[in-house]
Structure 1
């Protein structure tokens, strides 16, 4: 068996920043420590921090007054920020800067009085946070069919934004439909879909055509990981999204000569390495690293933690 090991894969700059922030906060303030929502959408990461005394919560009322709280990489609404202040929590903002960019764009377009079309997945933490910036001005769409149902008050005064972890191809189709229906709609100068999401998708699109099967390391609630598995299937290659090697069904590998292995932007390299070890030991696999795009992006820590780094 040959294993094509995609690069780039795994942690992006935003995830690296968020996890380093939690590590530093844990070292400085100790447990118990609280995080609003999962720090990143990955079961391995969340479980490992829970074992060290970190509590992930969806209700700020569960955090004792005066305790230390991190906002996750996916961002939060102004309402949540205010609730943290009201409870006198020591809040540390680990929001990915690319998500913050979308929030600022939402505020800008709302101040201009535009109807904002947000392309994203209903219920996703990032979408909830972005919509919270201007709830009266934002409408969510997930498909081109949703675009066809839009009835804005002023079709000539609209804007669009996107969740950062979407399928590039799907999002392009939706934006194209928006522009067909609303020729005067405006959007961000620089695309909202993050560089890491695009790069990981590019790697799968290029390498899947050489494989019989794709294994994507990532959790089921990770939007960008889901997109990688879907993209492989769109290229005619079976794909499975797994948290780790224990999820691999040997039946998947019957008759398989080449496996593409990649990882979503919130999946740690340790789970990738364990998967490779399993394939090498069980199937005598030969691993062939394949670099598609170079990445050298990094983001600064939250200001509350920079002196601790």
Structure 2
């Protein structure tokens, strides 16, 4: 529903807005977007991007307006233009094909996703069969499973899958997880797997990334105290969808995912006294600011920023873009 005309000051009722911290862009998303921007500056348009660089409609549309061309597969790209691989990671066959075609490619895979790839290869080299906890078809899962030969990884999506999983042969087991999952849901799945396979080792490092964990913890703090939580993010953003689920589980009376302020149905706020606002790791801060402004136009809003983890992580850009 579109943003309507503002309500006159005398009609505005009081509303407390709690703003989650942290929220919005994480270091991996920021790096990926910068890679596309710098590539456009250095090489000119068009720059091709395999899959959405991050899962946010506004980010993709802005980069497209600057000259980025988003494609599904490498065979849609010409040999003589740069191509960027998305932050979610790609199967090994993709860079191998790009090298064979002598293409200039830039890998925007989040370094924390790359760590999962390295761990999967380490387990495989040690002769272990890997259980990957994640969502089928998600680009990150496709990329992780594509690091190893077919059959080396089994995907588990739910507690039911964990109960039904059968060890293939006598190989020892290991596991890895998609980085944007619900921490609580993943713990539940791991609980089932470890009950069934007590020898299952702990991961070498935590797979669910710091940004996902921090944003979920921030929403848990909002949860019970909010009548409604609005999560800014696109529907295909796994970490944004998880924030809605976490808010409801934490006690919020209602929680909704919106791409931007234009998607807010203001009747959702009928009877709401405390509104929580957060954003997924691929949502730009201007979208959050615009949502707050839209709320201020309609309510006598008191905005309180919750005290949460302050993130200082930054990832380096590829050398070819900084030289």
* Superposed displacement of residue 304, structure 1: 2.1
Q: Does 1:302 align with 2:294?
A: no
Residues 90-115 of structure 1, C-alpha deviations (whole Å, 9 max, x = no match): 10111100000000111111112211
* Superposed displacement of residue 303, structure 1: 2.5
Contact 1:2 1:286 in 2 (8 A): yes
TM-score by length of structure 1 reads 0.97
Worse overlay, 93-102 or 83-92: 83-92
Contact 1:162 1:193 in 2 (8 A): yes
Cα distance between partner residues in 2 of 1:224 and 1:301: 23
Worse overlay, 191-200 or 60-69: 60-69
Worse overlay, 119-128 or 202-211: 202-211
Cα distance between partner residues in 2 of 1:225 and 1:16: 16
Larger Rg, first or second structure (1 or 2): 2
| Aligned residue in 2 for 1:267 | 283
Q: Secondary structure, in 3 states, of the residue corresponding to 1:228?
A: helix
Residues 27-52 of structure 1, C-alpha deviations (whole Å, 9 max, x = no match): 11111110111110000000111111
| Aligned residue in 1 for 2:87 | 73
Cα distance between partner residues in 1 of 2:82 and 2:168: 43
| Aligned residue in 1 for 2:146 | 132
Cα distance between partner residues in 2 of 1:288 and 1:23: 33
Within the candidate set 186, 208, 221, 1:206 is matched to 221
| Aligned residue in 2 for 1:163 | 178
Contact 2:229 2:247 in 1 (8 A): yes
Cα distance between partner residues in 2 of 1:260 and 1:271: 15
Contact 1:66 1:87 in 2 (8 A): no
Contact 2:225 2:251 in 1 (8 A): no
Q: How do 1:89-104 residues align onto structure 2 when only pairs under 5 Å count?
A: 89-104=103-118
Give runs of ≥4 in structure 1 deviating > 6 Å. none
Cα distance between partner residues in 2 of 1:301 and 1:25: 11
Cα distance between partner residues in 1 of 2:275 and 2:53: 30
Cα distance between partner residues in 2 of 1:219 and 1:85: 33
Ranges in structure 1 where 5+ consecutive residues have no aligned partner = none
| Aligned residue in 1 for 2:22 | 8
Ranges in structure 2 where 5+ consecutive residues have no aligned partner = 1-14
Within the candidate set 201, 208, 214, 1:193 is matched to 208
Worse overlay, 118-127 or 174-183: 174-183
Q: Does 1:21 align with 2:35?
A: yes
* Superposed displacement of residue 202, structure 1: 0.2
Alpha-carbon spacing, 1:208–1:155, altered in 2? closer, same or farther (3 Å): farther
Alpha-carbon spacing, 1:251–1:178, altered in 2? closer, same or farther (3 Å): same
Cα distance between partner residues in 2 of 1:78 and 1:197: 25
Q: Secondary structure, in 3 states, of the residue corresponding to 1:210?
A: coil
| Aligned residue in 2 for 1:251 | 267
Cα distance between partner residues in 1 of 2:225 and 2:155: 37
TM-score by length of structure 2 reads 0.93
Cα distance between partner residues in 2 of 1:210 and 1:15: 29
Contact 1:168 1:198 in 2 (8 A): yes
Worse overlay, 109-118 or 122-131: 109-118
| Aligned residue in 2 for 1:215 | 230
* Superposed displacement of residue 170, structure 1: 0.4
* Superposed displacement of residue 155, structure 1: 5.6
Supply the RMSD in Å over aligned alpha carbons: 1.1
Count of residues in Structure 1 that have an aligned counterpart in Structure 2: 307
Residues 166-189 of structure 1, C-alpha deviations (whole Å, 9 max, x = no match): 000000111111111111112422
| Aligned residue in 1 for 2:258 | 242
Within the candidate set 239, 264, 283, 2:299 is matched to 283
